Structure 1
Amino acid sequence: MKRDDKMHMAVLLHATGFHVASWLHPSVPLERSADIAYWAELARIAEAAKFDVAFLADNGSVAYQSNPNAQRRISLAQHLEPMTLLSGLAPLTERIGLVGSFSTSYVQPYLVARQFASLDHISNGRAGWNVVTSSDPNEASNYGLVEAREHADRYKRAEEYLKIVQGLWLSWDADAFPLDRENSIYLHPEKMHALDYKSEGFSVRGPLNIARSPQGKPVVFQAGSSGPGIELGAATADGIFTAQQSLSDAKEFWRTAKQKAEAFGRRPENLRIFCGIIPFVGRTLQEAQDKFDYIQSLIHPDVGLQILYELTGGFDFSRFPLDGPVPELPPSNATKSRLELLQKLAKGKQLTIRQLYLQAAAGRGHRTIIGTPESIADDLQTWFEGEAADGFAVLPAYFPDGLSDFATQVIPELQRRDLFRTEYSGRTLRETMGLPSV
C-alpha cells in the first residue's frame, strides 16, 4: 500500500494541558485561559515546528458539576467555544490547519456546514472538522435531552449528519460566482445544487448560502475507535485520531481502518491514522521521568476515582480497596473504545485500582512516552515505519512547556532523520496532509 514517507503531526490545544492535574503545574499560566494572544502563542509554536494541524476538543457543559470533587478539576470547567476561538486564530497564523471538535448529537447540520465553510474561507483553506458524538449526560441536558443518546443511535445519526454537511459543502460549483459587473451577472443559478434532504431525523433543503470554500470540503477527522467509530471513520474521514497502547494493537487498528476504507471504495492511502501520545521530554531519561513523576504526584485520589467513574460510564470504584484488584467492569453507554482499553490495561498488567487511575489520569487512554528526544524519536519511528500510524496526535501534559519541549527537541530529531517535513508543502490543509483536492 502506497503511503507518505513523512509523518503527519497534530497537536491538541488546551488552556492548561491534557493531564488532569495540569492546572496545578506552576509553569501553567492559568490566568490566560481566555486570552487569544496566549492561544495564538501555542498555535505558533506548533506552526513553527511545521505541525499539520492544531485542534480543539470540546464539551458543551460544565462537566462533572454533580461531582463533590469538582473544585479539584477547575481546568475542565472552562472551555472557549471552538469556532469562535479558531476564527480568532485564523488571521494570527498562516499555514497550520485549524480543526475543531463539533458534536453531531445536538445542533442542526446546516449550522455546522456553514460554520466550517466560513472558517475555510477565513483561514484560506485550513479548516477541519473533528466529528464527535456526545455521551456526557451533563452536555445532553444543556440541549434539551434528558440523557445522552445510546451509543448505536449516536453513530447512526453521525453518519447521516456527515452526509448532509458534506452535501451542503458542495452546494455550489467552484465557478458558480463569476461576479461579472460588466454583464451584471453575479452567479450562475444552474451551478447551484439544493440538497433537498429528507429523512425521519432531518429535513434540510439547502443550498448553503456561501460559495464553495477554498478546499471544496474542509478536512474531516473522526475520533471514535469502537466498531461503529472505525466504520464511520473509514467511510467518511480524512484522518482518524485513535488511542492505542501497544504496537501490535496499533498495527491491527491501522490495517483494519485501511481495509475498511478500501471496502468503502476509497483509496486507503488517503486515510491518515493519528495515534495519540503524551510526551515527557528531557535531556536525560531521568529528567523526563522527573517531569512525569512530578505531575503524577499532583493527582488527588478522589480525582483519580472520578476519572475512572467517567471513563466507565458510572462504575463506582470507591466501593473497592484502592490497592486491590480492578473488578470486572459492566457494559455502559460511555465511550466503548476507552472502556475496552481500560479493561485490557487492567487485566494485562494486573493493575490495582490506584495504579489504573494513575495510568488513566496520565493519558486517559492515550500512550505516555517518557524519554530523551532521541529515544522518543526512536519510538515514533518504529510505529511509523511499522505501519502502526501515519502520524501522531501530540497531547502535551501541560502548556506551554510540554508543547515547546516536543516542538523544539523531538521535531528537529525527526527532521534530521528525514521523517518529518522541514517546510509546509502547500497552502491548504489538504495540501499539507497530501490529500486529494475536491
Structure 2
Amino acid sequence: MTRKLHLTGFVKPAGEYPAGWRHPDSPPAAGTDIRFLAEQVRRLEAATFDAVFLPDLTGVPDVKPDVLERLAVVNDAFEPLTALSALAPLTERIGLLGTVSTSYSQPYTVARALASLDHLSGGRAGWNVVTSLNDAEARNFGADAHLAHADRYRRAEEFFDVVAGLWDSFDDDAVTRDVESGRYFDPDGLHRLDHDGEFFRVAGPLNIRRPIQGRPVIAQAGSSGAGQALAARIADLVFTRALPVEDALPHARAIKAQAAALGRDPDHVLVLPELATVVAPTRAEAEDRFAEVRDLLHPSVALADVEYWTGTRLAHLPLDSPLPPPADSNASRGAQAEIYRQAVRDGLTVGDLAREVAEGDGAVIGSPTDVADHIEQLFTAGAADGFTVSFPWLPTTLTAFTQLVVPELRRRGLFRTDYEGTTLREHLGLGRPAAR
C-alpha cells in the first residue's frame, strides 16, 4: 500500500504565536469573526487538507495579569463544535475536527453534539479527545483543582466508551421512515446502553440515528504514558509535539506498537506531529517575515509559556539558571517531560527555553523547499504519517503554506491533488466501523 501524506490545519484565528494577533496583517477581532474563520477554512479546503482542527480550553488559564492581558487566543475564541456547525454548510469536503474535554463535559451531550455535526456535514466530523489542562478550568465546573492525572485518564477511557456506545444506539438500518405503515423506525434496532461505571451512569439510547461515518474520527494528543495508552486504544489520529526525527521516530513506533498489541491495525493509527511554518519564496524573506512578529512578543509572555508547560515557577530565577527540578504539578505530564528531557540533553537554561518560544518554538522558517524537505524527511522515515500544520499568524502564514508548500509537496508526489471521497474517514483511508 502506498502511504499518503495527511495534513490537518490547526487553526487559532488569533494565531499560534503568542503575539501573532498583533501582526499588521491579522484582524484584531479574528477570534470571534466567523467570516474570517470560514475564509481560512475554505483556503485549507481548496488545498485539499484532510481537516481543520479547532483547539479549546474551557477557561482562562491561571497566569499573571500582566501576561494574560497580552494573550488573545485563550481570552476570545469560539467554542469549537458551535463554530464547526456554522462551518459545515460553508464547506463541502474538508473534515471538521473539534476539541471537547472529557473532564468537564457529559457523555450524552457530547455524543449527541458530535453525531449532529456528522449529519450536518455529510460525514466530516471528528473529535479531539482531551482531559483538559489546568485548575482554572476545574473551577468553572465546581471543583477546586483539576482532576489528578490518573483519575482524568480513567474518566476519559470510560467517557469514550459511553459515547461510542451511544453512537451505536440505532442499528444502521433501523430508521426506515416507512410512511405507508406509519413506522418511523424498527424498535428492534434501537438499543439502550445501560452503562453503570466508576464515573458515569447513562441509560441511553441516543436520540439521533447512527453517524454517517459510523463513528466520527477520533483524535488524541496525550504524550504521557497514560495519554499514549489512550491514543493507542481509541485514536485514529494522534497529535504530537514537534520533535526532531531522532525523537519522533521512536515515539511514533511506540504508539503504533501499543495499538497493534491491542489488535488494531497500526496503519490506521495516524501520527501527525505539529508543524508550524513561516514560509516565503526565499529563506531570507521568511526570516524577515518572522522577525516582524518576533519583535512584537513581550519577554514576559515567552517565559510564562515555559512556566505553563513545565508547571514550574521560573520568573524569580536568573535567566542563566538551569531548570529547577519539576514541580509536583498537575500540568500536562507529557509536555513537561519532553521539555525537561530537551533541557537536560541540550544543556538549556531558563533563558534558553524562553528564547526558543520567542524564536518560534521549533517552527520551520524558510523557503517552500526547506519546509517540504522537513516534511518529506519525517514522512519517508516513518516518523510521521502527516502533520498538524499550525499557523503563527493569520491569514499570512496559512495562505503562504497553501500557495507555496502544497504545490511543492504535490510536485514531489507526496500529497493529493484532489479529494477522493466525501467523508473525513475516506480522506484518511479509514474504514467505517461496524456497530458494536
Relative to the length of structure 1, the TM-score reads: 0.96
Matched, 1:175 2:165: no
Shift of 1:84: 0.9
The 3-state SS of whatever aligns with 1:411 is: helix
Correspondence for 1:301 among 299, 302, 305? 299
Question: Given residue 91 of structure 1, which amino acid in structure 2 is its aligned partner?
Answer: P
The residue aligned with 2:347 is 350
Q: Is the 8 A contact 2:51 2:96 kept in 1?
A: yes
Shift of 1:211: 0.7
Distance in 1 (alpha carbons) for counterparts of 2:314 and 2:63:
19
The residue aligned with 1:76 is 74
Distance in 2 (alpha carbons) for counterparts of 1:348 and 1:331:
22
Task: List gaps (5 residues or longer) in structure 1.
Answer: none
Distance in 1 (alpha carbons) for counterparts of 2:198 and 2:245:
42
Correspondence for 2:65 among 64, 67, 71? 67
Shift of 1:235: 0.5
RMSD: 1.4
Distance in 2 (alpha carbons) for counterparts of 1:241 and 1:180:
44
The 3-state SS of whatever aligns with 1:359 is: helix
- Percent identity of paired positions between Structure 1 and Structure 2: 43
Q: Is the 8 A contact 2:252 2:384 kept in 1?
A: yes
Question: Given residue 379 of structure 1, which amino acid in structure 2 is its aligned partner?
Answer: H
Q: Is the 8 A contact 1:277 1:368 kept in 2?
A: yes
Q: Is the 8 A contact 2:14 2:30 kept in 1?
A: no
Shift of 1:266: 0.6
Question: Given residue 336 of structure 1, which amino acid in structure 2 is its aligned partner?
Answer: R
Q: Is the 8 A contact 1:110 1:204 kept in 2?
A: yes
Q: Is the 8 A contact 2:240 2:273 kept in 1?
A: yes
The residue aligned with 1:199 is 197
Distance in 1 (alpha carbons) for counterparts of 2:128 and 2:359:
23
Matched, 1:420 2:415: yes
Matched, 1:395 2:390: yes
The residue aligned with 1:86 is 84
Structure 1 runs (4+) greater than 4 angstroms displaced:
361-364
**1:200-239 equivalence runs, <5 A:** 200-239=198-237
Deviates more, 1:368-377 or 1:201-210: 368-377
The residue aligned with 2:314 is 317
**1:362-401 equivalence runs, <5 A:** 367-401=362-396
Q: Is the 8 A contact 1:53 1:99 kept in 2?
A: yes
**1:106-255 equivalence runs, <5 A:** 106-255=104-253
Distance in 2 (alpha carbons) for counterparts of 1:386 and 1:424:
25
CA gap 1:300/1:138 in 2 versus in 1, 3 angstroms: same
Shift of 1:260: 0.6
CA gap 1:129/1:378 in 2 versus in 1, 3 angstroms: same
Per-residue CA deviations over 1:222-275 (Å, capped at 9, x if unaligned) read 011111111000101111000132101110011111111110111111111101
CA gap 1:429/1:416 in 2 versus in 1, 3 angstroms: same
Correspondence for 2:21 among 20, 23, 40? 23
The 3-state SS of whatever aligns with 1:221 is: strand
The 3-state SS of whatever aligns with 1:111 is: helix
Correspondence for 1:332 among 316, 329, 332? 329
Distance in 2 (alpha carbons) for counterparts of 1:64 and 1:399:
26
Question: Given residue 147 of structure 2, which amino acid in structure 1 is its aligned partner?
Answer: R
Question: Given residue 257 of structure 1, which amino acid in structure 2 is its aligned partner?
Answer: I
Shift of 1:188: 0.4
Q: Is the 8 A contact 1:116 1:127 kept in 2?
A: yes
Shift of 1:66: 5.0
Question: Given residue 49 of structure 2, which amino acid in structure 1 is its aligned partner?
Answer: F
Matched, 1:58 2:56: yes
Question: Given residue 350 of structure 2, which amino acid in structure 1 is its aligned partner?
Answer: I
Q: Is the 8 A contact 1:251 1:387 kept in 2?
A: yes
The 3-state SS of whatever aligns with 2:183 is: coil
Shift of 1:361: 5.1
Shift of 1:68: 3.4
The residue aligned with 1:269 is 267
Deviates more, 1:282-291 or 1:319-328: 319-328
Shift of 1:183: 1.6
Q: Is the 8 A contact 1:278 1:394 kept in 2?
A: yes
Distance in 2 (alpha carbons) for counterparts of 1:71 and 1:402:
24
Per-residue CA deviations over 1:29-53 (Å, capped at 9, x if unaligned) read 1134312111110100100000001
The 3-state SS of whatever aligns with 1:107 is: coil
CA gap 1:46/1:290 in 2 versus in 1, 3 angstroms: same
Q: Is the 8 A contact 1:46 1:54 kept in 2?
A: yes
Per-residue CA deviations over 1:343-397 (Å, capped at 9, x if unaligned) read 1222232223222013235556xx3111110121111111001000000000110
Distance in 2 (alpha carbons) for counterparts of 1:368 and 1:259:
28
Q: Is the 8 A contact 1:243 1:276 kept in 2?
A: yes
Deviates more, 1:64-73 or 1:31-40: 64-73
Question: Given residue 349 of structure 2, which amino acid in structure 1 is its aligned partner?
Answer: T
Q: Is the 8 A contact 1:307 1:361 kept in 2?
A: no
Distance in 1 (alpha carbons) for counterparts of 2:186 and 2:171:
9
The 3-state SS of whatever aligns with 1:392 is: strand
Distance in 2 (alpha carbons) for counterparts of 1:74 and 1:251:
34
Shift of 1:307: 1.2
